[in-house]
Structure 1
Amino acid sequence: MARHLVLALLFVATFVAPAQAADAYRIGMSVAITGPAAGIYAPAFDAYKVYFKRINDAGGINGHPVEIMFGDDRGEPSRAAANAKKFAEGVILIVNASISPTYKPLMTEAEAEKIPLLFGGGVCPKEAFPPAHPLIFCSTSFGAQWDSRFAVPFIKAQAGGKAKVGFVAQNIPVSQAEMEFAEKLAREQGLETLPVVVVPGGSADFTPFAAKLKDGGADWVLSWAPWPLEIGVFEALARIGWTGRYVTYAHQPAQDDLARLKSPNLFAFGGNALFTEALPIHKEIESAVKGQTSHPPHYLVEGWVSAMVLEQALRKCGWPCSKDKLAQTLATVSVDTRGLRGGAIEWTADNHYRQRAYYKVYRWDTGSRAVVPVGGWTRLDVK
């Protein structure tokens, strides 16, 4: 831990070299730079580095640089707690980009020190939903229950109103709770359901879990979990001859695996536009991060959007910007995501998630031999 904090502090020294710490907006970021979840969350670390280096090179915000203190929590609660205590010594905001077990210690410290906490890569906690906790904010594209509120009606529509649906979760509370919610929602909407299949994290063989779904007669399967598990169960189903349709959340690797597997039966839905659409903002990000990261550019989107939100909040907060003033300012942001999402991220005093959630579905099209959208953006009003 000490080594990671030293590295983070050394990075800060070079990141804001032209200015003294007292002249900077000081931000703490607890992120899984290493550890089992690093492949998903470490890209947010790179996104913040690139994004705010550009800001600082252009003169900073309101004439002041943004100083980011990074701490590697490896997805471990104890390390996240240590990061939070370190950050509490003078930061005006803590950013989290890590797995859900790190949430509680960060929330505890944020509450104790009255520091706003921005989730910018991990699943949005319920505290960001209406009625929102005054210190908890979330820019991440995926959110508990709202994702299922989109996915279940999508399955029903695609299936013509009649289907037997299976559900796949990882053995972590947030994933299991989401799939239990989705199963209940599916039953309420008249679909036949199978019990949620819970898969231990780190499983080397997904075949036994896939067999439960196939033997149960599932026509459709919905999975909401870390990507390796989501895609692992689908591939296991394909190997044992299942011919149904599989719907899963489109985490960062989705577009790569959709193209690799070339299966028209695999649907990936999400809140971010895939880089296969080659939008101007996609090209801008690709250019900005070239040579600055070992990750594919599309892996950096969650961190990039989070940084966009933070930039606007700091500009609106002005100078000086205290943690109390920043918390109040965050509750007023309206950020144009420039096509990365289906619409703006807008927060209010009691809604720190978004006023409207947008979803788009992608699949492999055998005719065009490309990953394509299945329709346009679908909007859900968040109340």
Structure 2
Amino acid sequence: MKKKILVLVALLGFFVAVGIRDHCAAEEKASIKIGAFFALSGPASSIGTPTKLVAQMAVDKINKEGGIDGHPLELVFGDTESDPTKALIVAKRLVEQEKVIALIGPTRTDTGMAVKPYIEQSGIPTVMTVGGDPVIAGGKFGPYRWTFKAPQRTSVAVKKIYGYLQKRGIKKIALIHATDGFGRDGLRWLRELAPEYGLQIVAVESFGVNDPDMTAQLVKIKNTDAEALICWTIGPAGAKVARNVRQLDITIPLIQCHGLPDPKYVELAGDAANGSIMPSTRLMVADQLPDTDPQKPVVKEFMRLYEEEYNFDEKYPINTHSGYAWDAIMLLTEAIKRVGPDKMKDVRQFREAIRDALENIDGYVGISGIFHLTPEDHNGLGTDSLVMVQVVDGGWKLIEP
């Protein structure tokens, strides 16, 4: 009799456990799938790979805090291979096969422009992590109703640099730029905005991002009366320019763009990096920020996660690009929260609502700045989102807020 009772108790316990398990499974909420496509291979992989890691770090934080109304975020990754054509193929796979509700990425301006027509035609809310303006410029660059971006506009970075030069009484400048999409976008804004700041461009030279040397172009610039030299590129090419400037004993200030505040720049340029000036996000000088800066606690927490909890800095030291994917994820998350994930059943309407919410985010304190998005401005960052920094003894010094 006792054995029968024990068996019945055991069976009852088993069925109760199964029932609880099945009930919990039924209560689990559907994940919200976001496509994330970056340059995980190819020339831009040094930027794209850590961007992927940061995107996952942001999603981990959100999910640990309960997701969005209990719905976990799920990232589906794709590798653009630093190639515009492949970027478009990846974007289509993420949307049409993986059924993501939104996208973040890609890594470079050229790949962003390659996928933009598809994004706009398909109605996919996308927060890009590219540096150039064309993706949200409108006009001849096409509509940007569904396209947003987390990094500062090129025009904003140019205004920051020009404001810095204007305060120092500089009147004549020389330009050297890469011939890729990012470099051309920089040249466009450098030319367009120069008169507004009383600046005369006395020389313009260009180079391919993979060129081994820029000496010939810089010799021409040295023979002008330029009072400052502005270089517009990202990646190793900027370090080559710095080394050539040092070799040629060019003594006017070298101003790099907002894409180069990166320990890799210092590593590749060596001593030639010292003295370089550039606009940067607050990530590079977090400890030098005043405690009154509203971004400081956000930036410091990001750095704690990146360096202490995830140890990403062991392979990918923090640079000015590091926060772009974080901001992209957080902006999308804020938009989805406003819409409510219960609207997911109608994917088209859900995407439309996310898009509408994105362009009305006002005051989000991120890594790249405090975002004030509008229907006309799908970036929402001004010159106050950047600080001017200088490489001093291999480190980064805040020289102008």
Q: Normalising by structure 2, report the TM-score.
A: 0.78
Residue 297 of structure 1 deviates from its aligned partner by: 3.5
- Residue matched to 2:254: 246
Change in 2 beyond 3 A, CA 1:190/1:275: closer
Change in 2 beyond 3 A, CA 1:345/1:37: same
Q: RMSD of the alignment, in Å?
A: 3.0
- Residue matched to 1:362: 389
Change in 2 beyond 3 A, CA 1:100/1:263: closer
Question: What per-residue deviation string (whole Å, max 9, x for no partner) do you get for residues 184-239 of structure 1?
Answer: 43345433322321111201112222212112233201122113222321220111
- Residue matched to 2:293: none
User: Is contact 2:230-2:255 (8 Å) kept?
Assistant: yes
Change in 2 beyond 3 A, CA 1:189/1:61: closer
Change in 2 beyond 3 A, CA 1:355/1:50: closer
* Structure having the larger proportion of residues in helix: 2
Amino acid across the alignment from 1:139: A
Change in 2 beyond 3 A, CA 1:21/1:34: farther
Q: Is 2:220 the counterpart of 1:195?
A: no
- Residue matched to 1:80: 87
User: Is contact 1:84-1:105 (8 Å) kept?
Assistant: no
**Could you list the runs of 5+ residues in structure 1 that have no partner in the other structure?**
1-17, 377-383
- Residue matched to 1:65: 72
1:261 pairs with one of 257, 271, 281: 271
Alignment of 1:265-304 (within 5 A): 265-275=275-285, 277=287, 280-281=300-301, 282-290=303-311, 294-298=315-319, 300-304=322-326
* Rg (Cα) greater in structure: 2
User: Is contact 2:37-2:79 (8 Å) kept?
Assistant: yes
CA distance in 1, matches of 2:26, 2:76: 15
- Residue matched to 1:371: 396
- Residue matched to 1:308: 330
Q: Among the aligned pairs, what percent are the same residue?
A: 19
CA distance in 2, matches of 1:113, 1:126: 16
Residue 284 of structure 1 deviates from its aligned partner by: 4.0
- Residue matched to 2:175: 167
- Residue matched to 2:245: 237
Q: How many residues align?
A: 352
- Residue matched to 1:12: none
Change in 2 beyond 3 A, CA 1:209/1:127: same
Amino acid across the alignment from 1:54: K
**Could you list the runs of 5+ residues in structure 2 that have no partner in the other structure?**
1-24, 289-295, 345-349
Residue 64 of structure 1 deviates from its aligned partner by: 0.7
1:218 pairs with one of 226, 250, 257: 226
CA distance in 1, matches of 2:264, 2:149: 26
SS in 2 for 1:166: strand
Residue 70 of structure 1 deviates from its aligned partner by: 0.7
User: Is contact 2:136-2:147 (8 Å) kept?
Assistant: yes
Q: 307-316 or 246-255: which moved more?
A: 246-255
Amino acid across the alignment from 1:344: I
SS in 2 for 1:372: strand
Question: What per-residue deviation string (whole Å, max 9, x for no partner) do you get for residues 121-180 of structure 1?
Answer: 443435267997321111113x1222222212321222x243x31101101244224224
Question: What per-residue deviation string (whole Å, max 9, x for no partner) do you get for residues 100-139 of structure 1?
Answer: 2212342122122211121124434352679973211111
Alignment of 1:106-185 (within 5 A): 106-127=115-136, 133-141=144-152, 143-158=153-168, 160-162=169-171, 164-185=172-193
Change in 2 beyond 3 A, CA 1:209/1:276: farther
Change in 2 beyond 3 A, CA 1:60/1:167: same
